[in-house]
Amino acid sequence: MNIIGHKKIIDLLDKAVAKNSVSQAYLFSGPSGVGKFQTAKYFAEKILGSSQQRISDALVILEADKEKNSEEPVGEEKNAKADKTKMKKGEIKIEEIRELKRKLFLSSETGRKVAIIRGAEKLNKSSQNALLKILEEPNEGLTIILVADDEKKLFPTIISRCQKTRFGIVADGEISKLVDSRGKNLNPEIKQAILFWSIGRPGLALEMLENPEKLELRVCSFREARNLFQKTVLEKFVLAENLAKDLNGALAKMNIWVVGIREALLKGGLEGISQEKSLEILEKISESRKLLGQTNANAKLILENMLLAFSRK
């Protein structure tokens, strides 16, 4: 299984298996799309051995239903036979944890079991309490790997029972090699755009390679943001009115604008715009996103004020 980056983490996990010192529970946390889930599957295979039948029998994967681009795949998909219990979109409920427990305690030839909970931050209070009971019981031969984008949503008592592994973003050089290996004869401009918008996340780079429209969406949205500096006040008000009609779409655009401006700052800044002004715009977008989340918010007014911040002065 090809893991992009995270060599130190892989080495530590390999050593734990070699020394027979695998913990009962792990928490893999960090940004989405960096390879947490792929690493969890790699670790599970190492624990259970190379036999696909043994892995199929002894590995249980519980996934919160979320957008595909929020995590992997970051490498070769290997173990398609793994037992998967799909969630309805949103939180993971207690019934799914009970079903997970039932599967874990079925007899297995290997005597070992591994459970991966992907999207663990979506466990609700009841399901976290149920999971905590499993973690509190000494279960020889059982390893549970929690994969979470936001560990702050997990109970401290759950976190304290896990060996924590924090994943960071992957170096541009590693992602460049990935893009070269998967995108043969790729236009250099497209490659640079993928590297820019992947923001250190191999999963996102692969997704844009496989779905060029997702790259185009980001490029076009950020072009729209840059063009705001040339628009008149009236044009900005018209745009605010249109954005207010589809708040989900507006928020998605704003997220892209934030990523684009941040990445541009890291790579020299927006042409003709000072660093101070760029930071002011980022702060205004962040403030506007929070305000739009309030039920009594005047979306049009908030968006107007935000768009007015896109000026060169």
- Per residue in 112-128, pLDDT (tens digit) is 899 999 999 999 999 99
**Cα distance between residue 235 and residue 250, in whole Å:** 16
Residue range(s) defining the domain that contains residue 98:
7-166
Q: Quote the CA–CA distance of 255 and 265 in Å, as a whole number.
A: 16
pTM over 0.95: no
- Averaged over successive runs of 10 residues, the pLDDT of the chain (313 residues) comes to 89 96 96 95 90 74 63 38 49 93 72 91 95 89 95 96 96 92 87 93 94 94 94 96 94 94 86 89 95 86 96 81
Q: Is residue 196 part of a domain?
A: no
- Confirm if 305 and 240 have CB atoms less than 8 A apart: no
Q: State the pLDDT at residue 305.
A: 96
| Residue carrying structure tokens 């429209």 | 213
Tell me the residue type at 99.
E
Q: Which of 138, 166, 194 is the last residue of a domain?
A: 166
- The whole-number pLDDT of residue 112 equals 85
Q: Please check whether residues 21 and 161 belong to one and the same domain.
A: yes
Instruction: Let me know if residue 61 belongs to a domain.
Output: yes
Give pLDDT, residue 160: 96
**Cα angle, residue 146 at apex, residues 140 and 152 outer, rounded to 5°:** 130
Residues 157 and 216 in one domain: no
Where does a domain end: 98, 133, 166?
A: 166
